[in-house]
């Protein structure tokens, strides 16, 4: 299994390995598998197109710009300025609409197909009258109906329909691509149905039989491609017949045949939500003990039957509205796209396109919006209306003057959770929608309105173009499989009458109650509890309808509140209050009386969780407890997806979680050190600031430093300072990260104005600081010219003294005529990065961690992935942290992640889908950038795109340079990162959502190694971080540490990592010939790729002869890399560390 | 290996361009060898005397594990060596301003380097150039093992410790030197300034002065500041929205701005359309 995925990853990878020289950065937006195979074919043409596909600064001649405007033009310009945010949005919407509306060609095809089918339908042969339960006359097809209870009274026969007409979105003009479906209404002749058929599903069964009769007839026809059954929005009482045209058009068009009763079949008043249309005796099969007893109302059943009567009337109503308002169609189309991206438009209990158009009509007819508004304004107003109106409390109605038999709004509210009444006044259009789905819609709408008001972001992209699959939207997700258990849940929850109302569909019956139960239990912990809409089932006409329990598992999503993540206690009401009983009832035996520090004695529930990663999973405990207690659903049916990825960043020591606690300890120790530094006396100059400049000090170090106690016997000693030194021939000692701290000294006239002198003064400061720290606090110290290592609390801090003006002094150049010039140079930049920018970034991101407790964990997952896929050298730690910060600061269209898992998924999505080529990634840290700044950054970016880094990240303090991505990644590497990220996202999401996949999620953290030319395998014993690798060895080598608490003692071996030393040497020696990749977090393989450019024979040049050999042809010496010798050098340079060098390709044999 | 013909195996291998190819192996048993390219050092304008033309051997492609000591050992078989200089790239030797203690020199790259070997006699150069290719130079021998890999790194790590006193001494030495230079400089400046002053009789001695030094070096930043100040001044004086033509102008600007924006957006859209960015799913 493992190998299989590795292969698929490389397949995509090898298509664009680092060898490809001319490849552009094309964000990979194909997540659905079907686009991928064609990609290879397309890539040629894509490359050609992309050479020109770059936004360039536009040059418009002044004459063009300043010519006198015509009134029309003036109008148009003004309009776009006032109606839309900018003309860009208007054009984007127009383009989007062009993509989704049906072309004329398509319409012609649809019309001709519908015509053919209509003829066919009219020619349905008549059959003799039989008993309703007798289905022997159907020879080839099954009835699309679950016949429970089996017997019903009544007669049935087939007869050609009285009329066949198109209904729904197609005649209205709001039908959109893809998955074009055209609805066809077939009216059942009145001789087939009987006015009493509304009772006991008789009508519904006749309807299903009628459809089966049609299917049987159509099955023999050549005009029909495939023929399947489905049911409308998952309602098993309303089966529909799906048919596609034969041949190649099959996938692009689906015809949905609805059977409808004759127009005057039933009076709507009969189907009032409080009437009962299903008899208990019939449904249970037992004679009720009191035959005269009141029947329970069956609102859902009634609205189902009523719904069949009204499509034609609804279409008429909508067409009338559409004729009045020019932008209606476009607005509905946009709304449908919006719904579709949020997975709200399909499945049982969905808010589909029909409801969308009804809602827009409601706004138009009630004059909440004007007929003259543009599509954009209609969409915006609709979303605003959704966000601000709670249909679960205050229902709305389209009926102007309902007749006296129509139910009142309060009647509807008592029967349904969400109320939106149709123009007739009798039907609740939202009958199937659960309150939680509506809350989800409201949440999405209010988010969208908020994003739309933010001028700094590309709201079009976020709201209409980005899909929001459940797994990437919600912090935690869980699935209920084994839906048969819901049947017992119904029993336990005492839902018999509801079950009857839903005609035995126990999943739909139990769902609302389960949701409200969980909502009560989760309470303050969640913003939103959403559930997936069970997808519409489809099955071939020749097989029986699937059972309720055969549905795919139900998924639920949780949006967590980050400020309640850490609490492990549910504090209930005081023991003697009346609510206490309710509380006890909810929690069962988990509820216990507790006395609190403030003296109160209350009911409370305490969950077991010691670390942050376990605390995040408290909702899992709550959910499984409540479902077991109240619904008899065992925890084996619950697949909770919330912490599956935690395993990758877990700290592998006793009682350690995912590193939050360890990072906190580091920060506390650092704070202490910083305080002690401030308090030092007798320094020649005072300290002006102490700043951390290390990922560990912003909670984002992949392997956070853990205090260690050393076993001195396993080390050699340095002669003078008695510091520990690694022993030769022993496994490499434990890696102790030096945590960098920048210590700025006060500016003063005493500082020399000379670069070398400053360096010496800094060294003197290191010596002095070491002396003071050793004397006052007894910390072992090791001062050097560049830094000072301090050993404190089992952690090593590396203090570096800095002088504010040093970078300026490095930049100073005196021109020959005595002028003092400032010239930027790499040395000054590097120093500035080290002493100013990195500390600033560290403190800013530290602040972000305080707002979002899982920021650090997401960063660590992201960097772990980058490392594991061998991209660490290309995306530096700071850049990766900034990318993650972007997810938290600019989460649109989502909310900021509150779990590492969802953050990581969005990180992969960001990497793979961002348009790196044409846009800068602006990370607005501390919200310092204004709209004007954004525009300026974008303009600067466009003006000099070619000279800027391929991955451009702008921050408030770095608007023009993108300092963290200046040197890497290259175009080719970025392309590879994009491809691998897309593939990883695909794999991880599949692993998380599909319970049947048995691999673990680590597959995304195992790099494909087939694409590399040489693999250098290292001895795990000498790789100090191998214990924290993605796949750690079973028997970790001895590292010279004890378990347990920390003591002082001699200075340990700090920052000794043979792998990184080896990599430095390799890159310095062979950087011209090859690229070297390694996982810095315990990787035991170094992968090498030859640079193709180096392998073309060069003429002999004294400047570039490194590692090459000469070949003489026709008296002209040319040079190629001396591969045999280089391979040998790999082992020579890594003597003791390298296990073996494996050349994998013969590419270098020219 | 294309070059060495079996025929000339015991002969020196000279390639067009005048370089002699020498094989260099890490150990005696290494299956593969790097090639050193040696030639007498010949440059038209050699300013320094550290590389006398007739006695200096120019060596290309020296592997990273060869330190100056190793090179000295390897090449002393051709004659007594006066000095060895290894560099990243061929070129003039950098004038070293002053001697820095080893703690303050920046670390050299450990890549393939070029070398300038100065023999005491010109014969060393010729001997090296006529060395046959099939007798490779051996870097690491039993008598003189060369440290690489873990050995080297552990050695480096233990060498990286400095006694604070020694470091302090190095700092003190440099700083006193620096102070002395500073003082001398100040002295010299003072003297120059004195010369500019009137003597008792009111005469000023006009001298050319040291080349390129002025009494007060002006800086680029100061120049810029002055210019900015000037600009602000003129701007303040300007009247805005005073004349009707100014109003007209600003309206025209606004329309032009909108048009420009429109054109830009159109271009963006066209680009996105080309990339098929408008397919929502």
Report the range of poorest mean pLDDT among A1-10, A716-725, A914-923.
A1-10
B281/A760 touch (CB, cutoff 8 Å), yes or no: no
Distance from CA of A878 to the nearest CA of B (A): 25
Q: Which of B21, B64, B164 sits opposite A767 (nearest CB)?
A: B164
Mean pLDDT across A685-714: 88
User: So what's the pLDDT on residue A767?
Assistant: 92
Alpha-carbon distances, residue B178 vs A424, A819, B186, B210 (angstroms): 97, 23, 12, 21
Q: Which of B112, B164, B217 sits opposite A1069 (nearest CB)?
A: B112
Mean pLDDT across A342-355: 87
Mean pLDDT across A190-211: 82
User: So what's the pLDDT on residue A84?
Assistant: 55
Q: Which of A723, A1107, A1112 sits opposite B16 (nearest CB)?
A: A1112
A816/B218 touch (CB, cutoff 8 Å), yes or no: no
Cα separation, A594 vs A572, whole angstroms: 10
pLDDT in tens, B86-145: 888 887 776 655 667 777 777 777 888 888 888 888 888 888 888 888 888 888 888 888
B103 Cβ under 8 Å from any chain A Cβ: yes
B1/A1109 touch (CB, cutoff 8 Å), yes or no: yes
User: So what's the pLDDT on residue A356?
Assistant: 92
Beta-strand pair A420-421/A396-397: parallel
CB A741 within 8 A of CB A798: yes
B66 Cβ under 8 Å from any chain A Cβ: no
Residues of chain B with Cβ-Cβ distance to A723 below 8 Å are 161
Average per-residue pLDDT for chain B: 80
Cα separation, A188 vs A205, whole angstroms: 13
Q: Which CATH superfamily is domain B6-148 in?
A: RRM (RNA recognition motif) domain (3.30.70.330)
Question: Where are the extended beta strands (E) located within A288-342?
Answer: none
Cα separation, B204 vs A993, whole angstroms: 92
Distance from CA of A248 to the nearest CA of B (A): 21
* Angle between helices A71-83 and A87-100 in degrees, nearest 10: 90
Distance from CA of A881 to the nearest CA of B (A): 28
User: So what's the pLDDT on residue A289?
Assistant: 53
A1122/B35 touch (CB, cutoff 8 Å), yes or no: yes
Alpha-carbon distances, residue A1058 vs A326, B132, B213 (angstroms): 71, 38, 50
Residues of chain A with Cβ-Cβ distance to B37 below 8 Å are 1105, 1110
Cα separation, A1083 vs A1067, whole angstroms: 17
Element spanning A114, H or E: helix A104-122
User: So what's the pLDDT on residue A48?
Assistant: 37
User: So what's the pLDDT on residue A847?
Assistant: 93
Mean pLDDT across B267-281: 75
User: So what's the pLDDT on residue A85?
Assistant: 56
Closest CA to A226 of A247, A249, A243: A243
User: Chain B, 174-193: which have a CB under 8 Å from a chain A CB?
Assistant: 174-175, 178, 182
A88/B265 touch (CB, cutoff 8 Å), yes or no: yes
Residue B71 clears pLDDT 70, i.e. is over it: yes
The verdict on whether omega for the bond into residue A893 sits within 30 degrees of 0, i.e. cis, is: yes
Distance from CA of A332 to the nearest CA of B (A): 15
Long-range CB contact pairs, B42-48, < 8 A, 24+: B47/B92, B48/B92, B48/B93
Residues of chain B with Cβ-Cβ distance to A1115 below 8 Å are 16
B148/A99 touch (CB, cutoff 8 Å), yes or no: no
User: Chain B, 229-248: which have a CB under 8 Å from a chain A CB?
Assistant: none
pLDDT in tens, B37-61: 888 888 776 666 777 878 888 888 8
Question: Where are the extended beta strands (E) located within A77-148?
Answer: 130-131
User: So what's the pLDDT on residue A51?
Assistant: 41
Residues of chain A with Cβ-Cβ distance to B2 below 8 Å are 1111-1113
Torsions phi, psi for A313 (to 5 deg): -65, -40
Element spanning A258, H or E: strand A253-260
Residue A1078 clears pLDDT 90, i.e. is over it: yes
B262/A60 touch (CB, cutoff 8 Å), yes or no: no
Q: Determine whether B106 is exposed, middle or buried from the number of CB atoms within 10 Å of its CB (0-12, 13-18, 19+).
A: exposed
User: So what's the pLDDT on residue A1046?
Assistant: 54
User: Chain B, 118-147: which have a CB under 8 Å from a chain A CB?
Assistant: none
Determine the longest span between alpha carbons in chain B, in angstroms: 95
Q: Which of B15, B26, B150 sits opposite A1137 (nearest CB)?
A: B150
Distance from CA of A555 to the nearest CA of B (A): 22
With a CB cutoff of 8 Å and minimum separation 6, the contacts of A470 are A343, A477, A530, A532, A555, A557, A993
Report the range of poorest mean pLDDT among A317-326, A1034-1043, A1122-1131.
A1034-1043
Higher pLDDT, A67 or A1119: A1119
User: So what's the pLDDT on residue A444?
Assistant: 93
pLDDT in tens, A473-505: 999 999 888 777 888 888 888 777 888 888 778
Residue A6 clears pLDDT 80, i.e. is over it: no
Mean pLDDT across A1015-1019: 93
Residue A598 tokens, joined: 């403030």
Cα separation, B256 vs B269, whole angstroms: 20
Which residue of A lies nearest to B109 if distances are taken between CA atoms? A1068
Q: Which of B149, B178, B252 sits opposite A66 (nearest CB)?
A: B252
Higher pLDDT, A1148 or A607: A607
**Domains of chain A, earliest start first:** 1-30+853-1008 (1.10.1410.10), 87-265 (3.30.460.10), 476-538+545-568+607-641 (3.30.70), 650-701+737-851 (3.30.460), 1014-1143 (3.30.70.3030)
User: So what's the pLDDT on residue A25?
Assistant: 45
* Residue position matching structure tokens 């006239």: A749
Distance from CA of A1117 to the nearest CA of B (A): 6
Residues of chain A with Cβ-Cβ distance to B252 below 8 Å are 66
Element spanning A688, H or E: strand A687-692
- State the virtual CA torsion across A720, A724, A725, A728 in degrees, nearest 10: 120
Tell me A465's DSSP state: I
Residues of chain A with Cβ-Cβ distance to B170 below 8 Å are 760, 763
Element spanning A855, H or E: helix A855-868
Give the HSE-up count for residue A1080: Cα atoms under 13 Å, Cβ half-sphere: 21
Closest CA to A157 of A186, A136, A131: A131
pLDDT in tens, A214-266: 888 888 887 788 888 888 888 888 888 888 888 777 778 888 888 888 888 77
Q: 3-class DSSP state for residue A167?
A: strand
User: So what's the pLDDT on residue A885?
Assistant: 95
CB B134 within 8 A of CB A1118: no
Q: Which of B60, B61, B63 sits opposite A1129 (nearest CB)?
A: B63
How many C-beta atoms lie closer than 10 Å to residue A199's C-beta? Answer: 19
Mean pLDDT across B74-89: 86
Alpha-carbon distances, residue A261 vs A22, A218, A1111 (angstroms): 64, 20, 90
Q: 3-class DSSP state for residue A303?
A: helix
B64 Cβ under 8 Å from any chain A Cβ: yes
pLDDT in tens, A861-907: 999 999 999 999 999 999 999 999 999 999 988 999 999 999 999 99
Element spanning A922, H or E: strand A921-922
A814/B217 touch (CB, cutoff 8 Å), yes or no: yes
* Residue position matching structure tokens 């890696």: A735
How many C-beta atoms lie closer than 10 Å to residue A31's C-beta? Answer: 18
Element spanning B113, H or E: strand B113-119
A1112/B112 touch (CB, cutoff 8 Å), yes or no: no
Residue A640 clears pLDDT 70, i.e. is over it: yes
Three-state SS string over B146-160 comes to CCCHHHHHHHHHHHC
Residue A4 clears pLDDT 50, i.e. is over it: no
Q: Which residues pair with A1041 in a beta bridge?
A: A710
pLDDT in tens, A561-603: 888 777 888 888 888 888 888 888 888 888 888 888 888 888 8
- What confidence category does residue B266 fall into, taking pLDDT thresholds of 50, 70 and 90? confident
Alpha-carbon distances, residue A208 vs A577, A814, A886, A900, A1115 (angstroms): 55, 93, 53, 48, 90
B100 Cβ under 8 Å from any chain A Cβ: yes
- What confidence category does residue A1066 fall into, taking pLDDT thresholds of 50, 70 and 90? very high
Distance from CA of A904 to the nearest CA of B (A): 22
Give the HSE-up count for residue B267: Cα atoms under 13 Å, Cβ half-sphere: 17
Report the range of poorest mean pLDDT among A21-25, A460-464, A909-913.
A21-25
ipTM value: 0.83
Q: Which residues pair with A962 in a beta bridge?
A: none
Residue B217 clears pLDDT 80, i.e. is over it: no
Mutate to test the interface with B, among A77, A1125, A1141 (most CBs of B within 10 A): A1125
Mean pLDDT across A550-557: 86
User: So what's the pLDDT on residue A22?
Assistant: 38
Higher pLDDT, A433 or A1103: A433
- What confidence category does residue A985 fall into, taking pLDDT thresholds of 50, 70 and 90? very high
Report the range of poorest mean pLDDT among A335-349, A436-450, A453-467.
A453-467
Average per-residue pLDDT for chain A: 83
Residues of chain B with Cβ-Cβ distance to A720 below 8 Å are 161, 163
CB A1053 within 8 A of CB A1034: no
* Angle between helices A353-365 and A375-388 in degrees, nearest 10: 90
Torsions phi, psi for B119 (to 5 deg): -90, 160
End-to-end CA distance of chain B: 57
Q: Which of B61, B154, B182 sits opposite A728 (nearest CB)?
A: B154
Residue A839 clears pLDDT 90, i.e. is over it: yes
Mean pLDDT across A416-432: 88
B57 Cβ under 8 Å from any chain A Cβ: no
Q: What is the DSSP string of B150-186?
A: HHHHHHHHHHT---HHHHHHHHHHHHHHHHHHHHHHH
B32 Cβ under 8 Å from any chain A Cβ: yes
User: So what's the pLDDT on residue A3?
Assistant: 39
Residue A1024 tokens, joined: 């100090």
Q: Which of B2, B103, B154 sits opposite A726 (nearest CB)?
A: B154
B3/A1111 touch (CB, cutoff 8 Å), yes or no: yes
Higher pLDDT, A1036 or A1078: A1078
* Residue position matching structure tokens 């010219």: A785
Mutate to test the interface with A, among B29, B108, B115, B149 (most CBs of A within 10 A): B149
Q: 3-class DSSP state for residue B39?
A: strand
Tell me B96's DSSP state: P
Cα separation, A761 vs A397, whole angstroms: 81
B60 Cβ under 8 Å from any chain A Cβ: yes
Q: Which residues of A1024-1053 are buried (b: 16+ CB within 10 A; e: fewer)?
A: bbbbbbbeeeeeebebbbeeeeeeeeebbb
User: So what's the pLDDT on residue A54?
Assistant: 64
Mutate to test the interface with A, among B30, B112, B113, B263 (most CBs of A within 10 A): B112
pLDDT in tens, A268-297: 777 888 888 877 777 776 655 555 456 788
B99 Cβ under 8 Å from any chain A Cβ: no
Three-state SS string over A971-1006 comes to HHHHHHHHHHHHHHHHHHHHHHHCCCCCCCHHHHHC
Tell me A341's DSSP state: H
CB B114 within 8 A of CB B58: yes
pLDDT in tens, A41-68: 333 333 333 444 566 666 667 777 677 7
Distance from CA of B205 to the nearest CA of A (A): 22
């Amino acid at each position: 299994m493992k190998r299989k995925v590795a292969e698929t990853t490389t397949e995509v990878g090898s298509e664009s390995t680092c060898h490809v020289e001319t490849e552009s950065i094309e964000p990979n937006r194909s997540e659905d598998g079907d686009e991928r195979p064609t990609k290879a074919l397309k890539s040629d043409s894509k490359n050609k197109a992309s050479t020109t596909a770059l936004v360039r600064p536009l040059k418009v001649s002044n004459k063009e710009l300043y010519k006198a405007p015509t009134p029309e033009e003036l109008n148009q310009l003004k309009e776009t300025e006032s109606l839309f945010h900018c003309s860009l949005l208007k054009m984007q919407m127009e383009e989007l609409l062009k993509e989704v509306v049906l072309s004329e060609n398509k319409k012609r095809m649809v019309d001709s197909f519908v015509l053919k089918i209509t003829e066919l339908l009219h020619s349905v042969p008549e059959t003799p009258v039989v008993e309703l339960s007798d289905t022997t006359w159907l020879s080839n097809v099954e009835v699309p109906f679950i016949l429970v209870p089996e017997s019903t009274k009544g007669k049935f026969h087939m007869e050609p329909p009285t009329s066949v007409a198109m209904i729904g979105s197609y005649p209205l003009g709001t039908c959109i691509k893809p998955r074009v479906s055209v609805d066809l209404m077939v009216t059942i002749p009145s001789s087939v149905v009987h006015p009493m058929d509304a009772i006991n599903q008789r009508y519904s069964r006749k309807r299903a039989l009628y459809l089966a009769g049609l299917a049987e007839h159509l099955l023999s026809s050549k005009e029909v491609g495939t023929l399947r059954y489905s049911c409308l929005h998952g309602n098993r009482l309303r089966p529909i017949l799906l048919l596609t045209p034969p041949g190649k058009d099959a996938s692009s068009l689906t015809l949905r045949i609805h059977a409808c009763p004759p127009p005057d079949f039933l009076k709507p008043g009969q189907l009032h939500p409080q009437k009962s249309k299903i008899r208990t005796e019939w449904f249970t099969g037992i004679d009720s003990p009191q035959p005269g007893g009141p029947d329970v109302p069956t609102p859902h059943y009634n609205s189902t039957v009523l719904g069949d009567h009204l499509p034609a009337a609804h279409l008429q109503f909508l067409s009338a509205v559409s004729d009045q308002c020019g932008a209606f169609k476009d607005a509905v189309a946009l709304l449908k796209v919006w719904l579709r991206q949020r997975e709200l438009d399909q499945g049982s209990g969905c808010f589909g396109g029909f409801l969308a158009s009804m809602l827009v009509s409601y706004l138009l007819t009630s004059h909440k919006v004007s007929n003259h508004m543009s599509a954009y304004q209609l969409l915006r107003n609709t979303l605003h209306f959704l966000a601000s109106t709670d249909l679960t409390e205050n229902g709305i109605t389209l009926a102007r003057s309902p007749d006296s038999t129509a139910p009142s709004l309060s009647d509807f509210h008592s029967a349904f959770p969400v109320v939106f009444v149709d123009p007739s006044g009798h039907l609740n259009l939202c009958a199937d929608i659960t309150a939680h789905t509506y809350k989800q819609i409201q949440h999405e709408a209010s988010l969208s309105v908020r994003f739309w008001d933010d001028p700094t972001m590309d709201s079009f992209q976020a709201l209409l173009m980005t899909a929001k699959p459940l797994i990437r939207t919600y912090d935690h997700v869980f699935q209920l499989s084994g839906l048969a258990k819901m049947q017992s849940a119904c029993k336990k929850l005492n839902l018999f009458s509801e079950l009857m109302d839903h005609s035995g569909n126990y999943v739909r019956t139990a769902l609302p109650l389960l949701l409200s139960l969980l909502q009560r239990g989760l309470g303050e912990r969640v913003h939103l509890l959403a559930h997936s809409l069970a997808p519409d089932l489809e099955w071939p006409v020749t097989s029986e309808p699937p059972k309720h329990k055969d549905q795919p598992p139900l998924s639920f999503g949780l949006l967590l509140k980050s400020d309640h993540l850490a609490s492990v206690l549910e504090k209930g009401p005081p023991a003697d209050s009346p609510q206490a009983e309710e509380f006890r009832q909810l929690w069962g035996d988990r509820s216990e009386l507790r006395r609190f520090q403030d003296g109160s004695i209350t009911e409370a529930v305490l969950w077991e969780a010691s670390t942050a990663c376990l605390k995040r999973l408290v909702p899992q405990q709550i959910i499984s407890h409540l479902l077991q207690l109240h619904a008899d659903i065992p925890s084996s049916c619950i697949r909770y997806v919330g912490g599956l990825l935690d395993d990758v960043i877990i700290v592998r020591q006793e009682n350690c979680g995912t590193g939050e606690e360890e990072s906190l300890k580091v920060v506390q120790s650092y704070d202490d050190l910083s305080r002690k530094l401030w308090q030092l006396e007798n320094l020649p100059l005072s300290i002006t600031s102490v700043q951390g400049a290390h990922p560990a000090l912003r909670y984002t170090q992949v392997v956070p430093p853990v205090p260690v106690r050393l076993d001195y016997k396993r080390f050699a000693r340095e002669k003078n300072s008695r510091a520990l030194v690694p022993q030769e021939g022993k496994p490499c000692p434990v890696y102790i990260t030096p945590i960098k701290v920048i210590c700025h000294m006060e500016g003063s006239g005493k500082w020399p104005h000379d670069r070398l002198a400053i360096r010496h003064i800094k060294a003197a400061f290191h010596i002095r600081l070491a002396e003071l720290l050793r004397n006052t606090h007894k910390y072992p110290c090791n001062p050097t010219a560049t830094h000072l290592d301090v050993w404190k609390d089992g952690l090593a801090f590396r203090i570096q003294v800095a002088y504010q003006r040093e970078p300026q002094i490095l930049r100073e150049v005196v021109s020959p005529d005595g002028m003092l010039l400032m010239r930027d140079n790499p040395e000054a930049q590097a120093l500035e990065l080290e002493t100013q920018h990195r500390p600033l970034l560290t403190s800013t991101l530290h602040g972000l961690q305080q707002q979002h407790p899982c920021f650090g964990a997401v960063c660590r997952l992201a960097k772990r992935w980058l490392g594991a896929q061998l991209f660490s050298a290309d995306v530096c730690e700071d850049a990766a942290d900034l990318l993650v910060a972007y997810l938290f600061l600019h989460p649109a269209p989502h909310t900021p992640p509150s779990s590492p898992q969802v953050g990581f998924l969005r990180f992969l999505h960001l990497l793979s889908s961002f348009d790196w080529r044409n846009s800068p990634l602006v990370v607005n840290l501390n919200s310092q950038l204004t709209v004007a700044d954004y525009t300026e950054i974008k303009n600067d970016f466009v003006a000099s795109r070619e000279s800027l880094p391929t991955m451009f990240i702008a921050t408030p303090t770095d608007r023009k340079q993108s300092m963290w991505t200046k040197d890497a990644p290259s175009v080719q590497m970025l392309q590879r990162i994009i491809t691998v990220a897309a593939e990883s996202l695909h794999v991880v999401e599949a692993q998380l959502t599909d319970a049947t996949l048995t691999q673990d999620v680590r597959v995304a953290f195992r790099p494909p190694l087939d694409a590399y030319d040489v693999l250098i395998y290292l001895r795990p014993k000498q790789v100090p971080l191998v214990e924290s690798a993605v796949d750690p060895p079973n028997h970790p080598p001895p590292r010279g540490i004890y378990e347990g608490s920390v003591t002082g003692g001699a200075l340990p071996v700090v920052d000794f990592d043979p792998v990184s030393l080896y990599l430095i040497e390799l890159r310095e020696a062979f950087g011209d010939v090859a690229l070297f990749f390694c996982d810095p977090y315990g990787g035991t393989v170094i992968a090498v790729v030859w640079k193709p450019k180096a392998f073309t024979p060069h003429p002999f040049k004294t400047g570039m002869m490194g590692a090459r050999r000469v070949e003489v042809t026709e008296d002209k010496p040319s040079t190629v890399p001396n591969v045999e010798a280089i391979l040998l050098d790999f082992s020579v340079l890594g003597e003791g560390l390298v296990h073996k060098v494996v050349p994998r390709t013969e590419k270098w044999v020219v | 290996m294309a070059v060495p013909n079996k025929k000339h195996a015991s002969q020196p291998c000279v390639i067009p361009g005048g370089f002699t190819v020498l094989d260099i192996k890490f150990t005696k048993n290494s299956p593969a060898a790097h090639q050193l390219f040696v030639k007498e050092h010949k440059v038209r304008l050699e300013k320094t005397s550290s590389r006398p033309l007739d006695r200096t051997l120019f060596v290309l492609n020296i592997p990273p594990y060869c330190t100056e000591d190793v090179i000295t050992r390897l090449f002393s078989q051709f004659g007594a060596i006066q000095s060895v200089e290894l560099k990243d790239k061929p070129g003039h030797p950098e004038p070293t301003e002053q001697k820095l203690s080893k703690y303050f020199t920046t670390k050299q790259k450990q890549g393939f380097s070029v070398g300038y070997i100065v023999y005491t006699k010109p014969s060393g150069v010729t001997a090296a150039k006529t060395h046959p290719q099939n007798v490779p130079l051996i870097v690491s021998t039993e008598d003189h093992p060369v440290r690489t890999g873990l050995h080297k790194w552990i050695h480096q790590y233990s060498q990286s410790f400095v006694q604070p006193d020694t470091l302090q001494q190095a700092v003190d030495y440099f700083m006193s030197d620096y102070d002395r230079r500073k003082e001398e400089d100040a002295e010299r400046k003072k003297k120059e300034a004195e010369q500019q002053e009137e003597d008792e009789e009111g005469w000023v001695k006009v001298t050319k002065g040291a080349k390129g030094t002025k009494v007060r070096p002006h800086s680029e930043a100061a120049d810029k500041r002055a210019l900015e100040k000037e600009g602000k001044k003129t701007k303040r004086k300007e009247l805005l929205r005073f004349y009707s033509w100014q109003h007209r102008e600003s309206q025209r600007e606004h329309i032009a701005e909108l048009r420009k924006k429109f054109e830009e957006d159109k271009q963006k859209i066209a680009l996105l359309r080309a990339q098929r960015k408008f397919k929502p799913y």
